[in-house]
Structure 1
Amino acid sequence: MSEHITTSAPAYLSALSDSGATSQQPHANRGPKLLDALRTQLRVMHYAIRTEDAYVDWVRRFILFHGKRHPRDMGPKEVAEFLSHLAVARSVSASTQNQAKAAILFLYRHVLGAELPWMDDVVIAKVPQRLPVVLTTREVRNLLQSLSGTSSLIASLLYGTGMRLMEGLRLRVKDIDFERREIVIREGKGSKDRVTVLPENLIEPLQQRLRKTQRLHQSDLDEGFGEVHMPDALQLKYPKAGRAWGWQYVFPSQVRSVDPRSGVVRRHHFGEQAVQRAVAGAARLAGIDKPCSPHVLRHSFATHMLQAGYDIRTVQELLGHANVATTQIYTHVLNKGGRGVLSPLDQL
């Protein structure tokens, strides 16, 4: 065991810490136990399932990279080698490299119970500051006109409210207030709620969508289904709430599927990849040469709101940014180039 690591393993890892098992039991047999323990701890701490899958994958790669050695037998040298391999040989982005480091850090700190003074010496990759891709109002109009069906309404919602893609897909019926013209976004980034505007032009399309969704939900109930995923422990506190109309997704999937955590057959929300492909295809049809994804519509919302003269604090609240400095990046888009600066060539 590395001299850099002092561990106090929980009981469910006793099989891994046994010295006899360490020397005789194959690493391949121990790997799943360690990864299962990692998943358990991630769920105990209420990490999102996406984060759970990503962290487990990074830890698996870390172990395989070092010949299936147990993480308990490794230290800062092995962590640094793995992160350097990602940057040099795999050419991953700085944010990806930092996610890998976060996964390994979580493993040592929360699963193996290790003291990690040496982790501070592992260099954090500097994430480059990039200006966001922003569409003009004409490009947004052409993009939305090139979309159809559910993807068209979702894309319009993202641009009209500044939502992130997953916030729009996870939108529940109860969180749309047509009378107050607002939408409550639950458990956004950082598990924070916020309120954003409900565009006037989306009221009728959303009401039509809800009527269609309600018919689908009633059909599920008639067939003995109709239960939706409930956040945290609400399913235990309110056992019947999962079938209630207000908790249903506004944009449900067309097919029912098995919940990967509980094994319950439910109707999940509309797929994010379907929206991403639809937006990319619509951008090509509209002749937009800029890299275009659903998140670009959020950037465009923020920039166009500032162009319209709205206060930056208002835009910050609508976007759900914790720090106004994050919102200020859109002022750079406004002030640099384009109509924000008069070139000296134009004065000749």
Structure 2
Amino acid sequence: MSIDPDTQPISPSVERFWKRYIDVLKLFHIPERSRPWYRKHVQEFIDAHPGAKLRTQTPEAIEHWFAKQGLNPQLSAWQLRQKVDALRLLFRHMLKSGWASEFDWDHWAEGGQPLGDRHPTVARSYETTNAGADRPGNLLGNAFPKVYARFIAAIRVADLAINTEQSYLGWINRFLRFHKSSLPEDCAEQEVSSFLEHLAVRRKVSGATQAQALNALVFFYARVLEKPLGDIGTFKRPKPYKRIPTVLSRREVAQILARTQGMSGLMVRLMYGTGMRVMECARLRILDLDFDYRQITVRAGKGKKDRVVPMPDALAGHLKRHIAWVTDKHAEDLKAGFGAVYLPEALERKYPNAAKEFRWQYLFPATRIAPDPRSGVLRRHHIHQSVIQRAVRKTAVEVGLTKRVTSHTLRHSFATHLLESGSDIRTVQELLGHTDVTTTMIYTHVLGKGGGGVTSPLDRLE
């Protein structure tokens, strides 16, 4: 039964209901201009469940309503977040439903975040070599479009990662601004040297950051301008800094896992159980899981390398149930006229019907249908990696960890715990996808006791 005051007289009980809800909105500092919209979202939910009492609503009913909202391509990410927040305040803080404290509100609120046209998944699709030349802040593209086109062609012929492309372009633009937008051909070794020294002395960058800037300029001069740099002379270099990765103990990992539920919880467990990077986990497709061999194929990881990681036995049942849920969601998308997933352009040309096949669907789909940032095609992308990054950071704070914890900390912990358990370092190297074993060696720093296994003289005192 509707309780919209515009459709029928308001009874005293309905008035009390809305007053209580508005009081909750005030308590949580919801701006006054937004409160009518929160009330409207709650009313939409009530109207979608005629005859059902709010106190009898289940998590499944909430999820079904959110999923239906996500099928509306006109609904923006912030609008979906507002709908989720409206029901969260209603069920968790006003009605205090027993299930509401365990419900994965964050997944539904943040899971609809669009990828954006510079996201690594889609950044190189539907582009020409001069795409992005007029982007604000792209000095190379704006002032020297022909040079920019050569840069894009050169870096893609070299098959460097999209993150490397964006990083190199950023350093080239900073270099040009430092030299007052001079023609790139007019700058050479001395200008490069002064720029690198500026980074160290004025900008106080780390040695690794300065080295990245140098690599970008060496590539630019050698492969784009075809004027390889000679001796750039001496310049100020920051002192080398070797960062030791943060590693969680098994007890600390268990604390985080105990507080993460739903899809976010499954992804966090999968990342710790396999050592996957957050983007590798977010991009998994149904066909990447092999339950018979208990393994997962990680495709096009860092360095564009495929690798195989073990599927944790503890997650096999959870993954099967999750796939059944994705199956239902895909069927709903197809029924609504959607269901085509993003495929790399070459793959889409080779298999024109593959985009709607279930096996190509993302294992962890976003919570809403959204336009592809490049083509405008309406589809369901994978969940944005920032959803998991925020979930890990938030949970670490909630359980009281004082370490600096990120989603990548789970990968560090995976490697360290394997080595602690006696796994061969070459095996760990292969599971992590490291090219050089010296990269994997850094995880040996926590083996044995802290501080290299040395017993403190304080502990020897009687």
Tell me the TM-score normalized by structure 1. Answer: 0.83
| Residue pair 2:274, 2:414 contacting (<8 A) in 1 also | yes
Are 1:164 and 2:266 counterparts?
A: no
Letter in 2 for 1:293: T
Alignment partner, residue 342 of structure 1:
455
Displacement of 1:121: 7.2
Are 1:215 and 2:328 counterparts?
A: yes
Distance 1:224 1:251 in 2: 20
1:129-278 alignment to 2 at 5 Å? 129-231=242-344, 233-262=346-375, 264-278=377-391
Displacement of 1:113: 2.4
* Structure 1 unaligned residues grouped into runs of 5+: 1-11, 14-25
Are 1:291 and 2:404 counterparts?
A: yes
Query: 1:151-192 CA distances to partner (integer Å, 9 max, x unpaired)?
Result: 221111111111111111111111111121111111112211
Identity of aligned residues (%): 48
Are 1:319 and 2:462 counterparts?
A: no
Q: Using a 3 Å threshold, how does the CA distance of structure 1 residues 56 and 217 change in structure 2: closer, same or farther?
A: farther
Letter in 2 for 1:102: N
The more displaced of 316-325 and 262-271 is: 262-271
Distance 2:322 2:386 in 1: 20
Distance 2:195 2:434 in 1: 32
- Paired residue total: 325
The more displaced of 193-202 and 241-250 is: 241-250
| Residue pair 1:305, 1:315 contacting (<8 A) in 2 also | yes
Alignment partner, residue 22 of structure 1:
none
**Aligned with 1:305: secondary structure?**
helix
Distance 1:36 1:295 in 2: 34
Alignment partner, residue 52 of structure 1:
165
Displacement of 1:116: 2.6
**Aligned with 1:196: secondary structure?**
strand
Alignment partner, residue 28 of structure 2:
none
* Structure 2 unaligned residues grouped into runs of 5+: 1-128, 131-138
The more displaced of 192-201 and 148-157 is: 148-157
Alignment partner, residue 94 of structure 1:
207
Distance 2:223 2:411 in 1: 35
Letter in 2 for 1:244: E
Q: Using a 3 Å threshold, how does the CA distance of structure 1 residues 120 and 89 change in structure 2: closer, same or farther?
A: closer
Counterpart among 113, 116, 129 of residue 229 in structure 2: 116
| Residue pair 2:140, 2:147 contacting (<8 A) in 1 also | no
Q: Using a 3 Å threshold, how does the CA distance of structure 1 residues 335 and 79 change in structure 2: closer, same or farther?
A: farther
Q: Using a 3 Å threshold, how does the CA distance of structure 1 residues 265 and 62 change in structure 2: closer, same or farther?
A: farther
Query: 1:276-304 CA distances to partner (integer Å, 9 max, x unpaired)?
Result: 11111111001000000011111111111
Structure with greater Cα Rg: 2
Distance 2:274 2:323 in 1: 18
Displacement of 1:344: 3.0
Alignment partner, residue 17 of structure 1:
none
Letter in 1 for 2:445: H
**Aligned with 2:447: secondary structure?**
helix
| Residue pair 1:335, 1:341 contacting (<8 A) in 2 also | no
**Aligned with 1:274: secondary structure?**
helix
Displacement of 1:265: 4.1
The more displaced of 282-291 and 251-260 is: 251-260
Alignment partner, residue 69 of structure 1:
182
| Residue pair 2:276, 2:432 contacting (<8 A) in 1 also | yes
Letter in 1 for 2:316: I
Distance 1:287 1:101 in 2: 40
| Residue pair 1:27, 1:70 contacting (<8 A) in 2 also | no
Query: 1:82-129 CA distances to partner (integer Å, 9 max, x unpaired)?
Result: 222222222223332222222222322222222333469778877532
Distance 2:397 2:148 in 1: 42
Displacement of 1:143: 1.2
Query: 1:33-68 CA distances to partner (integer Å, 9 max, x unpaired)?
Result: 433443344344443333332222222222122111
Displacement of 1:338: 6.6
**Aligned with 2:325: secondary structure?**
helix
Distance 1:41 1:199 in 2: 41
Distance 1:307 1:29 in 2: 53
**Aligned with 1:168: secondary structure?**
helix
Tell me the TM-score normalized by structure 2. Answer: 0.64
Query: 1:188-245 CA distances to partner (integer Å, 9 max, x unpaired)?
Result: 1221111111111111222222222223333333344333333462222222223222
**Aligned with 1:292: secondary structure?**
coil
Q: Using a 3 Å threshold, how does the CA distance of structure 1 residues 32 and 255 change in structure 2: closer, same or farther?
A: farther
**Aligned with 2:144: secondary structure?**
helix
**Aligned with 2:392: secondary structure?**
helix
